[in-house]
Structure 1
Amino acid sequence: MAVALTMARMKVSILRHAAKGQQGGMTASAAVLGALLAGGMIWLAFLGGDWLAAAYTVWALGWIIGPVFSGGGDETLRPEFFTLLGLRPQRMAAGLLVAAFVGVAPAVSLLALAGLVVAGAREGVVGALVAVPAMVLQLAVFVLLSKVTVALLGLALGSRIGAIGAGLVNGVILAFLGQIWVFMVALGQGGQIPEFVRYLPSGWGLLAVQGEYLALAAMVVLIVLLLAAWAALLTRRTGRSRPSTRGRRPMRAATPHGAVIAKELRTWTRDLVRNHQLAFAFTYGVAFAAVPLLVGIPQMLPLAGPLFIMMAAAMTANTYGTDGTAHWLTLMTPGASDVRGRQLAWLAAVGPVGLVLAVVCTAAVGGPWPLVMAATFALLGGAVGLVPLMSVVGLVPGIDPKNRGGNPLRTSEDDGSATGMAYLMLVLVAVAAAPAVTVAVFFGWWGVPAGLLTGGLCWWGLGLLAERRLTAQGPELLQLMRTGRRADTGAKGSDTFELPESMSRTQRTIVMICASLGAIPLFPQGIVAIAFMANGRLDQSWFLATHVSPGLRWPVAIGFVLLGLGMYGTALWLWLRAKKAEKAEKAEKVAGEVTDTDKLAAQHH
């Protein structure tokens, strides 16, 4: 108990010091957004039925899959910190579990689990009283499921087969979450939840407050088993040995440019993190496009190829950052076009798979060929130009591959910025393909040469910008990757994709809400609803536009699209305005310092 309390106090102290400045603002914004989602969970408790059980299932999946995109989850206290203390694995796991209850995510989840109190009160006084221990036990189940999942992924990423398998599983889960409306429609037009959802571990707390008290005992047993499993996995993590590199063929290249290509291709085949990322992008694209087949909608299947390309670009957006200090090899190799070599290697790794997916999936449904091929070529060109440019402009210092700890998912010290870069990459790649897609929509096959043209321009032009930036600021980028601080200002990390400190808390909250929730009106209630109406499917209760009078259906759907675009635009406008104000303030400060220096010099003379 003393160890657990000490770890909890350590985490409280770390979070208290981190709750200042920009990091504190982002944490507060995330807390507000989480509180809104938790409020929605409580509201579902008043509806009755099995909606709350289904919502808690999705919430549990968020705990499980979320760490994949946030560098392995909460790593405030890492097991490696306590290796030399000689703690038994069970004692260390128990202490880390207690510390895991400290933070914004557990607090928000506990608020969401307050829906159990509402559900219990509907059953009577006893149900309300049982809800209190049920909330704590259910939260422990969520936390431990997340910890065990991260540990298993870390173990899987120790081998190529495991890395690919983990990517396949994660891609399927996230695709299913993104297409949850399909399952709602398939289960009786969104009005019924299958009964088995109540008996999943995420629904045991609800069963307990509804009178099935054995569910409390079941959660206790599950917590003990998960804790034991986590303790065993922690032992594997802290005692992991490095894989052998014997038996590999030497790399031969006749030119510096060829050396870059060969090095990158070897990295794509040998780096287990990249294997995981590529497998994840492939599975996500296929699963996301194929899931609507469950409700008889084949029109999304041709999107598998474009979705794979977009996700691959997002996952590799910080390519220079994840390479770490190996950048000094580039600086010490005159004449090597590192950017062009990386572009060709990226295209060789991603391009054939994306093209095959696009062709096969489009042929399976008989089209639309012009639209899909135009989008595929434009996305490939846009991605191959944006990946190196984004990486050198907004580089997030990564952990050297040779120094990666027992959590291989953690490739950066600032996973929040790396995640923001990935989301921004998705938007920018889509924007790069928009002209070719527009031409294909209105002029058919003319979209294909338009896609080739815009893709080629993005490859050449954006690659040229990245190469010039790398040549001009190569030593500064190496300094940033080596120390995590910029050479000019000494500021820690990369602030390109963070919220400026000049933003008020209200503005931060607005940006977080708009950026996080803008996809809901834009895609499900907007674009997907338009596709449904265009195909005459008006019996889907998940979409609001299908429930209004015929004269309002298209205006409502288009309104949702505009609302989603407006939310994203508002977030971008507030961010750009704050960045502009911050730059102006810095320039004014520098000008004032120069003036003060001139005055001192004049007084001296």
Structure 2
Amino acid sequence: MAVALTVPRTMAAMKLAVLRNSMSGQKAGSIVMGGALGLVLAGGTLYAAFQTGDLLAAAYAVWMLGWIFGPVFAGGGDETLRPEYFTSLGLPPRRLAAGLLVSAFVGVAPVISLLALSGLVVFGVRQGPAAVLVALPAMLLQLAVFVLLSRVAVAVMGLALRSRAGAVGAGLVNGAILAALGQGWVFAVALGQTGGIPAGASAAVRYLPSGWGLAAVEAAGTGAWGRAGLTLGALAVLVALLLAAWAALLARRAGSVKASARGRRPMTAATATGAVVAKELRTWSRDLVRTHQLTFAVAYGVFFAAAPLVLGWTAMLPWAGPIFIIMAAAMSANLYGVDGTALWLTLLSPGAADVRGRQLAWLLVVGPVAAALALGLTSVTGGPWPMVLALTAALLGGAAGIVPLISVYALVPGIDPHRRGNNPLRSSEDDGAMTGLAYAVLVLVALTGAPAAVAAALYGWAGVAVGVVTGGLCLWGFGLLAQRRLHAQGPELLHTMRTGKRPPAKPGSWAKFDDLPKREQIITALCWSVGAIPLFPQGIVAGFLKANGTEDRSWFLALHMPEGLQWPVIVFMVLLGLGVYGLGLWIPYRRRTP
């Protein structure tokens, strides 16, 4: 018994020590940002606890989905303590799983989730003293369910990514659910139009495991102690079953990934660029992580654009193609980093072939899918053809230029592909840096389409020509910059890849995020996280809706203003977003190396 308790205590202490000694640089900024966002969401959940049980049950369903799919999207979740670290100790799978489960409760996310789950206590206070007694164990059991569901989902996803069908299926599910979460306003408006959560949906969210704790509290509040006890018992049984499932998955995780025995046609190429294209296309077809990412981008684009169909609004369907392009670029942001230390092979092959070959291969993979989505879904709605075609051309060229450029200027050291077997979702040791890189690519690629969008809005079909020209210039110009950077700083990039440490900055270089004071790190992270809100949804999207005479005002602030103030508010939002991003750039610029 003492040994059984020692393992969890030791692992929890190890996790706490690692977190205490790693709170610096970009990781600290990511934790602070995530904690701030989590506190806002927890506050909203507590507000729901003062409203109705239906609303609180729906909120906990969203929390459960966040625990399940958030780590999957973020590259495997929190693996501060990995199962592989304890392989040599010979711990039984269940004891190892129990220890890792206890350590999983050490961190910012579990604490914030516990704060959100304290809404059960708030709701119980409204029901009576008896309900409060049930709410306390329900809160703890519910948190254990959330954490274990997250761990089991990551483990199952890791196994799924060992087959092509599993990678495609996981990408479809993840893309659809995250797109639905990103379009939450659509469902909020739909619920508002129906006067609240429908009875069927209300029952459904209570049947989900996220609603069992609330069901127990409600039962205790009405004096149905038998039902309350059974519900708490069901939660405890679910915790035990999930723990057993996780232990079994941990045992399978150690298994190696078998190479495909299927024959492959030999790669042939007449030029150096053609050889790179052939190699990249072969990588896209064989790497199951890339298959998952590409499928995720397709699913996200389609479901994000189709979500407003709930309101009967079809105007977003044509934008599935551009959204897919932006998301595909974000997924492949660390193009050179995912090669791992194989970068040395690239450095031994001089010439401009590598960057150009990767650009062409990326276009061959993403371009046909983007064109099919743009043409097919725009034909369903009958337009707007100039805007969609202009943006598709501009974004394809912009993304093909931005992806290699940012991957050599902000390279994140990746894990060698042959060492990803235990957790295929994990392609980098620094998830925070990877997430920041993906968000940066989202913004930069979207900005490359701005000139074409403006030209299409003002001059119609002339905007298509502008999109082709700007896309071609971005493809050529950014590719040239990436090529020069790769040739000039190749050894330094390889050093960063091998050691995880960047070489000293040259005089006049902008300060890196990790070198900024903590206060300025927080401000910079806030700028890059918050700037998109006024710039895109409240500015650019609202302006597009205003220009097209859309009557649905939804959550766009400008459209709720008097007619004479709508355009000034839209312009102000765009300038505010640009100003926030400018502040995020100015802070590292003013701290540049003397």
Change (3 A) 1:359 1:81: same
1:253: how far off?
Answer: 2.4
- Hey, what does 1:339 align to over in structure 2? 355
1:205: how far off?
Answer: 1.7
- Hey, what does 2:145 align to over in structure 1? 141
CA distances 1:421-444 after superposition (whole Å, capped 9, x unpaired)? 111101111111100110000100
- Hey, what does 2:222 align to over in structure 1? none
Residue type of the alignment partner of 1:416: G
User: Structure 2: how far apart are the matches of 1:118 and 1:411?
Assistant: 41
- Hey, what does 2:339 align to over in structure 1? 323
- Hey, what does 2:174 align to over in structure 1? 170
User: Structure 2: how far apart are the matches of 1:465 and 1:545?
Assistant: 39
Query: Is 1:154–2:153 an aligned residue pair?
Result: no
- Hey, what does 1:94 align to over in structure 2? 98
- Hey, what does 2:458 align to over in structure 1? 442
2:193 to 189, 192, 196: 189
Q: What are the within-5 Å matches in structure 2 for residues 493-508 of structure 1?
A: 499-505=513-519, 507-508=520-521
- Hey, what does 2:378 align to over in structure 1? 362
Change (3 A) 1:566 1:355: same
Residue type of the alignment partner of 2:516: S
User: Structure 2: how far apart are the matches of 1:554 and 1:307?
Assistant: 31
Query: Is 1:256–2:272 an aligned residue pair?
Result: yes
1:57: how far off?
Answer: 1.3
Query: Is 1:552–2:562 an aligned residue pair?
Result: yes
2:210 to 179, 190, 202: 202
2:183 to 179, 183, 189: 179
Query: Is 1:217–2:233 an aligned residue pair?
Result: yes
2:10 to 6, 21, 29: 6
1:403 to 393, 398, 419: 419
Q: Percent identity?
A: 61
8 Å contact 2:25–2:514 — kept in the other structure? no
CA distances 1:360-386 after superposition (whole Å, capped 9, x unpaired)? 000011000000000000000000111
User: Structure 2: how far apart are the matches of 1:529 and 1:190?
Assistant: 25
User: Structure 2: how far apart are the matches of 1:358 and 1:25?
Assistant: 37
1:249: how far off?
Answer: 2.8
When structure 1 is superposed on structure 2, of 167-176 and 401-410 the one drifting more is 401-410
Query: Is 1:125–2:133 an aligned residue pair?
Result: no
1:417 to 413, 433, 453: 433
Change (3 A) 1:265 1:541: closer
- Hey, what does 2:36 align to over in structure 1? 32
Change (3 A) 1:47 1:497: farther
When structure 1 is superposed on structure 2, of 465-474 and 19-28 the one drifting more is 19-28
CA distances 1:67-109 after superposition (whole Å, capped 9, x unpaired)? 1232200010111111121111111111111110000111111
Query: Is 1:103–2:111 an aligned residue pair?
Result: no
User: Structure 2: how far apart are the matches of 1:48 and 1:89?
Assistant: 42
User: Structure 2: how far apart are the matches of 1:415 and 1:133?
Assistant: 33
- Hey, what does 2:387 align to over in structure 1? 371
1:216: how far off?
Answer: 1.5
1:542: how far off?
Answer: 5.5
Change (3 A) 1:563 1:448: closer
User: Structure 1: how far apart are the matches of 2:108 and 2:301?
Assistant: 31
User: Structure 1: how far apart are the matches of 2:538 and 2:349?
Assistant: 52
User: Structure 2: how far apart are the matches of 1:116 and 1:564?
Assistant: 40
CA distances 1:524-552 after superposition (whole Å, capped 9, x unpaired)? 66666667777777677766667x5xx62
Residue type of the alignment partner of 1:210: E
8 Å contact 2:131–2:217 — kept in the other structure? yes
**C-alpha RMSD of the superposition:** 2.6
User: Structure 2: how far apart are the matches of 1:560 and 1:136?
Assistant: 45
1:240: how far off?
Answer: 2.8
1:304: how far off?
Answer: 0.7
Q: What are the within-5 Å matches in structure 2 for residues 13-92 of structure 1?
A: 13-20=17-24, 22-92=26-96
Structure 1 gap segments, 5+ residues each: 588-605
Change (3 A) 1:165 1:22: closer
8 Å contact 2:558–2:569 — kept in the other structure? no
Residue type of the alignment partner of 1:502: L
User: Structure 1: how far apart are the matches of 2:386 and 2:148?
Assistant: 48
When structure 1 is superposed on structure 2, of 308-317 and 518-527 the one drifting more is 518-527
User: Structure 2: how far apart are the matches of 1:524 and 1:52?
Assistant: 27
How many residues are matched? 576
User: What SS class does the counterpart of residue 187 from structure 1 fall into?
Assistant: helix
- Hey, what does 1:597 align to over in structure 2? none
User: TM-score, normalized by length of structure 2?
Assistant: 0.91
User: Structure 1: how far apart are the matches of 2:480 and 2:552?
Assistant: 51
User: Structure 2: how far apart are the matches of 1:562 and 1:263?
Assistant: 47
CA distances 1:223-262 after superposition (whole Å, capped 9, x unpaired)? 1121111111111111234324563333232332221111
User: Structure 2: how far apart are the matches of 1:389 and 1:465?
Assistant: 7
1:508: how far off?
Answer: 4.3
1:346: how far off?
Answer: 0.5
User: Structure 2: how far apart are the matches of 1:529 and 1:385?
Assistant: 28
CA distances 1:108-159 after superposition (whole Å, capped 9, x unpaired)? 1111111111111101112222221111111111111111111111001101
User: TM-score, normalized by length of structure 1?
Assistant: 0.89
Residue type of the alignment partner of 2:353: S
Query: Is 1:575–2:575 an aligned residue pair?
Result: no
Change (3 A) 1:308 1:139: same
Change (3 A) 1:426 1:544: closer
Change (3 A) 1:53 1:567: farther
1:499: how far off?
Answer: 3.6
1:61: how far off?
Answer: 1.2
Change (3 A) 1:253 1:440: same
1:46: how far off?
Answer: 1.5
User: Structure 2: how far apart are the matches of 1:442 and 1:178?
Assistant: 29
Change (3 A) 1:361 1:253: same
- Hey, what does 2:316 align to over in structure 1? 300
Structure 2 gap segments, 5+ residues each: 220-226
User: Structure 1: how far apart are the matches of 2:192 and 2:408?
Assistant: 49
1:468: how far off?
Answer: 0.6
User: Structure 2: how far apart are the matches of 1:541 and 1:51?
Assistant: 20
8 Å contact 1:371–1:437 — kept in the other structure? yes
8 Å contact 2:114–2:139 — kept in the other structure? yes
Change (3 A) 1:565 1:280: farther
User: Structure 1: how far apart are the matches of 2:148 and 2:567?
Assistant: 41
User: What SS class does the counterpart of residue 460 from structure 2 fall into?
Assistant: helix
User: Structure 2: how far apart are the matches of 1:534 and 1:200?
Assistant: 43
- Hey, what does 1:603 align to over in structure 2? none
8 Å contact 1:515–1:567 — kept in the other structure? no
User: Structure 1: how far apart are the matches of 2:586 and 2:548?
Assistant: 41
User: What SS class does the counterpart of residue 333 from structure 2 fall into?
Assistant: coil
- Hey, what does 1:390 align to over in structure 2? 406
- Hey, what does 2:224 align to over in structure 1? none
User: Structure 1: how far apart are the matches of 2:334 and 2:414?
Assistant: 8
User: What SS class does the counterpart of residue 449 from structure 2 fall into?
Assistant: helix
User: Structure 2: how far apart are the matches of 1:41 and 1:513?
Assistant: 22
1:465: how far off?
Answer: 0.5
1:558: how far off?
Answer: 6.2
